[in-house]
């Protein structure tokens, strides 16, 4: 399929009209969701992910509790109608378990789990639509949901996918591009510039890696700004709704104010 579509034409435009380094439309919805302590719905173009966070709370089973820190429990569900072809994945599906484990290991060094010994933080990821960049959407949504739930973290985690088409690097790949182009997903903590995840399922020439990696890190900074704006907007909304704008701002708000 890909061979008939020009992924990057002579004028430097991709099949969806973006330039090489252009990201897709990024929207964030931080409104309340059911009983969840924090929720975030994120879209990267047509990829749509909803993440809810419960906790820190008592673990369901004693086996999962740790005496010195909280356990992160990540569960991923993919809606059967999210992709072009209907496919129902069960809970034990290898791909789902792998992605959940990736998300968990990305967030373990960032969430300050040592503050909540013998407890559990549940992160439920629901994929509603997929069009490439699934992992990046899951990670960005999880960051925002954790922030929304008031779980203390060292920094935001911003993820972005980069690929290379012959020799030209591209950012934020769609499904069509992802199928044809070697790609790498990078998750960055933008304040410190530390990287918590680099993952690749395709082969990429070693000479191209550095270029893409640097580009993805720069793109993560752009996403960080967007995410911070979304959180600030939401918090300002909540503060004004409480009528407490003149009083002591809540903790989430001060954290963000310090940062900027």
Partner 1 sequence: MSLSKAEKSYIQTGLLSNPPLRGDGRTLDDFRPIALETGVAPLANGSAKLIIGQDPHGGGGGTEVLAATKLEVENVQDEGADGGRVVCSVTCSPTAYPNLSPGALDDLQYDMTTILHQTLFHPSLHPPNLGIIPGRKSWLLSLDLVILSDTGNVYDALFMAARAALWDTKVPRTRSVEYKARQSGRNAPKDPATMDVDPEEQSGFATRKLATATDFELADYWDEGEDLGGRSGWPVAITLNLVSPTHFLDASPPEDSAAPQKVLLAFSFPESSHTKLQAIRSLGSGELNVPQLKELIATGEKYAKQLFSALNSKLKEEDIRRSQKARDRFAKR
Q: Which residues bind partner 1 (CB under 8 A)?
A: 31-36, 39, 46, 50, 52, 54, 60, 75, 77, 79-86, 88, 91, 122, 124, 126, 128-129, 241
Cα–Cα distances in Å, from 102 out to 107, 143, 164?
Answer: 9, 14, 23
In angstroms, give the least distance from the CB of 215 to partner 1. Answer: 29
Compare residues 89 and 118 and give the one whose CB is closer to partner 1: 89
Q: Distance (Å, rounded) from C-alpha 123 to C-alpha 146? A: 8
Compare residues 22 and 75 and give the one whose CB is closer to partner 1: 75
Compare residues 69 and 89 and give the one whose CB is closer to partner 1: 89
In angstroms, give the least distance from the CB of 169 to partner 1. Answer: 28
Q: Distance (Å, rounded) from C-alpha 104 to C-alpha 185? A: 15
In angstroms, give the least distance from the CB of 258 to partner 1. Answer: 27
In angstroms, give the least distance from the CB of 244 to partner 1. Answer: 17
Of 254, 228, 40, 46, whose CA–CA distance to 149 is shortest? 40
Compare residues 74 and 173 and give the one whose CB is closer to partner 1: 74
In angstroms, give the least distance from the CB of 81 to partner 1. Answer: 4
Of 18, 12, 11, whose CA–CA distance to 176 is shortest? 18
In angstroms, give the least distance from the CB of 80 to partner 1. Answer: 4
Compare residues 186 and 231 and give the one whose CB is closer to partner 1: 231
In angstroms, give the least distance from the CB of 35 to partner 1. Answer: 6
Q: Distance (Å, rounded) from C-alpha 145 to C-alpha 42? A: 10
Compare residues 51 and 189 and give the one whose CB is closer to partner 1: 51
- Evaluate whether 163 touches 177 at the Cβ level (below 8 Å): yes
Q: Distance (Å, rounded) from C-alpha 71 to C-alpha 87? A: 31
Q: Distance (Å, rounded) from C-alpha 194 to C-alpha 187? A: 9
φ/ψ of 41, rounded to 5, equals -110, 125
Cα–Cα distances in Å, from 1 out to 86, 106, 161, 180?
Answer: 19, 33, 21, 9
From the centroid of its chain, how far is CA 215?
17
Compare residues 94 and 203 and give the one whose CB is closer to partner 1: 94
């Amino acid at each position: 399929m890909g061979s008939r579509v020009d992924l990057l034409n002579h004028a430097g435009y991709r099949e969806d009209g973006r330039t090489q380094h252009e990201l897709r439309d990024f929207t964030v919805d931080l409104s309340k969701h059911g009983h969840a302590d924090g929720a975030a719905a994120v879209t990267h173009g047509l990829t749509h992910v909803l993440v809810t966070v419960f906790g820190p709370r008592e673990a369901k089973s004693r086996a999962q509790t740790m005496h010195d820190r909280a356990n992160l429990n990540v569960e991923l569900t993919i809606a059967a109608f999210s992709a072009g072809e209907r496919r129902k994945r069960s809970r034990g599906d290898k791909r789902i378990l792998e992605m959940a484990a990736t998300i968990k290991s990305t967030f373990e060094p960032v969430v300050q789990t040592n503050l909540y010994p013998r407890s559990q933080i549940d992160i439920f990821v629901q994929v509603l639509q997929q069009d490439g960049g699934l992992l990046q959407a899951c990670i960005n949504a999880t960051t925002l949901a954790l922030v929304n739930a008031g779980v203390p973290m060292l920094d935001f985690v911003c993820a972005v996918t980069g690929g290379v088409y012959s020799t030209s690097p591209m950012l934020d790949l769609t499904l069509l591009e992802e199928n044809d182009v070697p790609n790498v997903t990078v998750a960055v903590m933008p304040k410190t510039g530390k990287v918590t995840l680099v993952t690749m399922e395709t082969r990429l020439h070693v000479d191209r890696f550095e270029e893409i990696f640097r580009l993805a890190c720069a793109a993560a900074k752009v996403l960080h700004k967007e995410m911070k704006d979304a959180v600030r907007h939401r918090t300002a909304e909540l503060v004004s709704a409480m009528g407490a704008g003149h009083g002591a701002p809540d903790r989430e708000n001060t954290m963000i104010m310090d940062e900027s």
